[in-house]
Structure 1
Amino acid sequence: MIDPQTVRFLDDLAIVDAHHHYWDLSGPVTYPWLQSPPWLAFRYGDYGAIRKSYLPEDYRRDHGAHRIVADIHMEAEPRHGMACAEIDWLASLGEVAPRAAAAQIWLDGDDLDDQLKELARRPLVRSVRHKPKALPREEARRGAAGSMDDPKWRDGYARLAATSLHFELQTPWWHLDAAADLARDFPETRIILNHCGLPAQRSDEDLAAWRAAIVRFADLENTVVKLSGIGLAPGIWPEEQNIHILRELITIFGPGRAMFASNFPVDRLCITFEAMFSAYKRAVHDLPREDVISLFSGCAASTYGLNIGEASLER
């Protein structure tokens, strides 16, 4: 049982949601995966319930009483060529716009220099994401076209070192050997691992292999992890297993390199926002308060260059 003083501390905790999405399906940006069939195979199963606009008022309704003091928008895979249009739409939201954003980029695109130039003109942008080619675990190998080993993809990644942009990596854990090589070879670029490295297989053997891959990746100091995206098909959120995964990651990376995030509205397919963040709080209730604050706000604020103010951290 959590003591009452800790409950009050957790209830009042300031949160920087390090990864969520907005999209307006009637707006200026198009999202093929949400708007036109054939529908993609999706890791949570049927995603028909989120194929509708998701706007700041929807997010506020979802997060409810949890005290969100800042938020980071993750690119929602707009149509190729619309990365800047997505950022400009976010900026047009005014007071309800996210505090920072990760923009879509195509590292192997012939127009990469133009992409970087345009994104650099937009102060909302702090990082970029391009999902590298991923293979099924049973087919996993190094060197596939479009992967982190692809020379053209890697040459594009090398250009990030001359910018202030971080790289958001979404890839299954069995490709983290390639990610570790990227982190080692390009130490100027911070890699933010999305969604815990996607530990979808949950046998003891699978989790041991996931952990070994995570340990190798986390050994590089320019790596950070987002504690998010750990639902399972067909839309479930197994709390006991997930808390084990979260605690493993916090131990491996340390609270200064790990940040909680919602991945809403995607993870709404598995769990409510209230239930998710309540579970996050239960997962770390026994840690020192300074570690809890770092996990819920400090690491994200530092990573994305946010000034959220000391007064907002506790009340």
Structure 2
Amino acid sequence: MLALIDTHHHFLDPEAHYYPWLNDAGFPPHRYGDHSALKRPYLPADYRRDTAGINLLGSVHVEAEWNPKDPVGEMRFIASLREQCGLPSVAVGQAWLHQPDAAGTLEELAAFDFVRGVRQKPRANLAPGGPPGGMTDGAWLQGYARLEPLGLHYELQTPWWHLHEAVRVAAAFPQTRIVINHAGMPSDRSEEGLRAWRTALAGMAAQPNVAIKISGIGEAGYQWRLDANRRVVLEVIELFGVDRCMFGSNFPVDSLCASYEAIFEGFAACVADLSAQERAQLFVENARRIYRIAA
């Protein structure tokens, strides 16, 4: 039975709480396509059913795009789940770093002993070649500067064509860890697209304070495909090394692409040629260290 710490999943309850992407009518489709199947509660009991064939040693809840007017409310919800069910092990909260109230929000989030970092998807363009994204804003950078003193890291989810902005941020704040989400989002699987993605990701890999999660690499219109995803997995590991890479399920979102076991069996197949120690780092030990999860 595969042992792992899942570094990226979401607990959510759109029947009891407000998530714009789940509750609002006419919200744009997810990058995987129709996401109506996700408009239901996904709670620890559901997660335990999905992980029944896995030796789950810990998990990381990542903010689920909860009501942006009440980002701290999500962590109160997660705190109640941890008290009732013992999951997740730790969490990443939502914070809008460019907002005037960012300082207070970050302090409130840091006060939860299980919160390890924050995520805000910075303003991005839909395609390469557009104007600068949100990581160049002065107000955003002021908010970002508050993370390290509070013991928080930054979870970055942005299209690869904005990673050059993140390189500058990583270099300017070398004591603040960045964890890239979803392998840098290699959505264009053409040869040209993958080359551009790899080049952008290499700039981040050169920054020693950057780690990366191999997660959320499904494709719209397809089930999780080993032949399509093996290259992504191995190139990320080649760039960052086994000591800065981790695996995550992105459940329940990636249930649109495959079962939980199928995704992790795919990851395991991708790294089958690595040593047992290297596989242990990728599936467990790096996550334990980076997210400070007790053994």
| Fold match by TM threshold 0.5 | yes
Q: Which runs of 4+ in 1 moved over 4 A?
A: none
Deviations along 1:246-287, one digit per CA (max 9) or x if unpaired, are: 011111111110000000000000111111101111111110
**1:185 matched to which residue of 2?**
172
State how 1:105-254 maps to structure 2 within 5 Å.
105-142=95-132, 144=133, 147-254=134-241
1:269 aligned onto 2:288: no
Matched residues, number: 293
Deviation at 1:211, TM superposition (A): 0.6
Change (3 A) 1:167 1:138: closer
**1:22 matched to which residue of 2?**
11
Query: For the Cα contact (< 8 Å) 1:258–1:299, is it kept in 2?
Result: yes
Quick check: 151-160 or 294-303, which moved more? 151-160
1:88 aligned onto 2:76: yes
- Return the match for 1:51 from 25, 39, 58: 39
Output the aligned Cα RMSD: 1.2
Gap runs ≥5 in structure 2:
none
Query: For the Cα contact (< 8 Å) 2:98–2:140, is it kept in 1?
Result: yes
Deviations along 1:55-107, one digit per CA (max 9) or x if unpaired, are: 11111111221111100000001112322211111111223320100000010
Change (3 A) 1:136 1:116: same
**2:19 matched to which residue of 1?**
31
Q: Pick the structure with greater CA Rg.
A: 1
Query: For the Cα contact (< 8 Å) 2:15–2:40, is it kept in 1?
Result: no
**1:71 matched to which residue of 2?**
59
In the aligned structure 2, how far is the partner of 1:136 from the partner of 1:121? 35
Quick check: 114-123 or 164-173, which moved more? 114-123
State how 1:1-12 maps to structure 2 within 5 Å.
11=1
Deviation at 1:124, TM superposition (A): 1.4
Deviations along 1:157-198, one digit per CA (max 9) or x if unpaired, are: 122132210100000111110011110001111000000011
In the aligned structure 2, how far is the partner of 1:248 from the partner of 1:150? 31
Question: Could you tell me the TM-score, scaled by structure 1's length?
Answer: 0.90
In the aligned structure 2, how far is the partner of 1:25 from the partner of 1:139? 36
**2:246 matched to which residue of 1?**
259
Q: Percent of pairs identical after alignment?
A: 42
Query: For the Cα contact (< 8 Å) 2:128–2:161, is it kept in 1?
Result: no
Q: Secondary structure at the match of 1:92?
A: helix
**1:313 matched to which residue of 2?**
none
Gap runs ≥5 in structure 1:
1-10, 309-315
In the aligned structure 1, how far is the partner of 2:202 from the partner of 2:128? 21
Deviation at 1:156, TM superposition (A): 1.2
Deviations along 1:195-216, one digit per CA (max 9) or x if unpaired, are: 0011010111111111111111
- Structure 1 letter corresponding to 2:283: F
Quick check: 200-209 or 189-198, which moved more? 200-209
In the aligned structure 1, how far is the partner of 2:25 from the partner of 2:141? 31
Q: Secondary structure at the match of 1:16?
A: strand
In the aligned structure 2, how far is the partner of 1:102 from the partner of 1:299? 16
